[in-house]
């Protein structure tokens, strides 16, 4: 058999790694977003039936937010071991943990059956979900970033980011189908459990694919050199906060507008459409479904554009655009016209993609190899507590307090301003080398034309 040219073999290897990361992150986000959608339309009745609908929804979103609180801890633990023993092993563990927790949620008894034990068990499993997802993101984007070439890194690293809309698309599609084919009584009784139980099948597929990929060559080389010199990091997280605290803060700030806007558009919309506008839950679910499909397609395009003109320019466009669009977003929802609601949601998620697409490469390029998993994960996940964790809670509380979406729009815009400031304080990282093992930022920008082509 004729051997494949090295470049062809490398391309196929990278494509396999990208596919493994994308499928794995899609499954993990499916599990995580499934909970968010269920919290908006089901859990207030199943687990908190003794409260009025809006208060029950707030309590359901409180358990939803607890998952975010566990994500930084997951980032710390997975980042520590990911920087010490490799990216691949931790990716397999995170997927297995997430899948088992999600499957178990589908088996939980309701409040009517076991009383207070039901929401307590729900909260525990949400913590496991958050812990697993906290370690997932860093490993998935790094194993792609560290396999690819500098001049195409934004494009390739953006594919694991597609797992977020991909998982949301899958979760929303399953819920939308069930909502359309079942009565409300059947859906609340047992239908909502089906998407959670399906997680077991998805996890088996994801594990099989992830076990087939190779470890990051950049990590292996850095580990080999560190072993030869006797300089292996004993506590990568300590080095991150000692040498790269500025980069951690930049990553956190860059996440604020991106993360808050995403959960307002995809989770709070379900509350507002059903309880604020008194429309069917299917209308909200279908709008998110269509918009997520377009979001999925556009994220790699934004990543590709960041390879051409730089990470910061694309990111800033998304943040500024979102700060403006959020005011039009709710005005368009108030029309109660399905096509207009779809358009509002789609434009919002496309603008979100301008931040989310280049984010994986941008954050990867901020940190040195030996602390990259820890640094990127902590910066990414710490922001989740102050951003995505509380975004639906704050949005629902503002709506309840003021009976208006204007305060919600102001809230999202303010978070986007924080993101603009953080990105302006960052240096441009496009084309930076990831082979620098120093516990600090990667090397400065290298023009795309001068980058070494390896794929």
pLDDT at 399 over 80: yes
Angle between helices 153-161 and 338-364 (to 10 degrees): 130
Instruction: Count the Cβ atoms, other than its own, within 10 Å of residue 226.
Output: 15
Tell me what pLDDT residue 440 has.
Answer: 46
Sign (positive or negative) of CA dihedral 105, 205, 133, 211: positive
Q: What angle do CA 304, 360, 33 make, to 5 degrees?
A: 110
CA distance 348 to 171: 19
Residue-range domains of the chain with CATH: 14-446 (1.20.1250.20)
314-337 pLDDT, tens digit each: 999 999 999 999 999 999 999 999
CA distance 165 to 300: 12
State the Cα torsion 91-96-102-108 to the nearest 10°: -150
pLDDT at 273 over 70: yes
Question: In the chain, pLDDT over 70 holds for what percent of residues?
Answer: 89
For the chain, the distance separating the N- and C-terminal CA atoms, rounded to the nearest angstrom, is 22
Question: In the chain, pLDDT over 90 holds for what percent of residues?
Answer: 30
pTM more than 0.75 = yes
- From 353, 277, 268, 262, select the one nearest 315 (Cα to Cα): 353
28-54 pLDDT, tens digit each: 788 777 877 787 777 777 887 766 666
Q: What is the mean pLDDT of residues 410-424?
A: 97
- Give the pLDDT band of residue 3 (cuts 50, 70, 90): very low
pLDDT at 170 over 90: no
pLDDT at 437 over 60: no
CA distance 28 to 60: 20
Per 3-state DSSP, the chain is made up of helix, strand and coil in percentages (nearest 5) of 80, 0, 20
Tell me what pLDDT residue 50 has.
Answer: 66
219-255 pLDDT, tens digit each: 787 777 767 766 555 667 777 878 878 999 999 999 9
pLDDT at 441 over 60: no
Residue spans of alpha helices (H) in 86-162: 87-105, 111-114, 117-145, 153-161
Tell me what pLDDT residue 203 has.
Answer: 83
CA distance 391 to 195: 24
Tell me what pLDDT residue 448 has.
Answer: 42
Matching residue, tokens 């997927």: 95
């Amino acid at each position: 058999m004729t051997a494949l040219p090295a470049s062809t073999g490398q391309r196929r290897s990278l494509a396999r790694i990208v596919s493994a990361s994308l499928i794995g992150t899609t499954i993990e986000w499916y599990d995580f977003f499934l909970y968010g959608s269920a919290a908006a339309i089901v859990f207030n009745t199943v687990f908190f039936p003794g409260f009025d609908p809006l208060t029950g929804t707030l309590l359901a979103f409180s358990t939803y937010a607890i998952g975010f609180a566990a994500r930084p801890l997951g980032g710390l633990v997975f980042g520590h071991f990911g920087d010490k023993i490799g990216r691949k092993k931790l990716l397999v563990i995170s997927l297995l943990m997430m899948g088992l927790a999600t499957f178990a949620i589908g088996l939980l008894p309701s409040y009517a059956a076991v009383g207070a034990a039901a929401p307590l068990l729900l909260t525990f499993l949400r913590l496991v979900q958050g812990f697993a997802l906290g370690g997932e993101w860093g490993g998935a984007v790094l194993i792609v970033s560290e396999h690819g070439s500098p001049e195409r890194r934004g494009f390739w690293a953006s594919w694991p980011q597609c797992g977020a809309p991909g998982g949301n698309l899958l979760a929303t599609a399953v819920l939308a189908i069930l909502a359309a084919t079942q009565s409300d009584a059947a859906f609340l009784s047992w239908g909502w459990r089906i998407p959670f139980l399906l997680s077991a099948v998805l996890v088996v597929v994801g594990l099989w694919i992830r076990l087939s990929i190779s470890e990051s060559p950049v990590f292996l080389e850095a580990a080999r050199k560190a072993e030869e010199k006797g300089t292996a990091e004993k506590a990568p997280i300590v080095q991150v906060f000692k040498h790269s605290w500025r980069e951690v803060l930049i990553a956190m700030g860059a996440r604020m507008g991106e993360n808050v806007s995403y959960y307002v558009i995809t989770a709070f919309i379900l509350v507002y459409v059903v309880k604020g506008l008194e429309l069917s839950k299917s209308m909200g679910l279908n709008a998110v479904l269509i918009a997520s499909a377009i979001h999925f397609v556009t994220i790699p395009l934004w990543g590709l554009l960041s390879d051409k003109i730089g990470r910061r320019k694309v990111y800033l466009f998304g943040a500024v655009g979102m700060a403006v669009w959020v005011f039009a977003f709710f005005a368009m929802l108030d029309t109660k016209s399905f096509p207009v609601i779809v358009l509002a949601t789609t434009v919002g998620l496309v603008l979100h993609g301008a931040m989310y697409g280049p984010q994986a490469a941008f954050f990867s390029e901020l940190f040195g190899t030996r602390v990259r998993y820890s640094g990127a994960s902590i910066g990414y996940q710490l922001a989740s507590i102050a951003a995505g964790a509380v975004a639906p809670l704050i949005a629902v509380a503002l709506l309840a307090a003021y009976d208006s979406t204007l305060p919600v729009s102001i809230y999202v815009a303010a978070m986007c301003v924080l993101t603009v400031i953080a990105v302006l304080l960052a240096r441009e990282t496009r084309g930076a080398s990831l082979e620098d093992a120093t516990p600090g930022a990667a090397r400065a920008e290298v023009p795309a034309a001068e980058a070494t082509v390896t794929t």
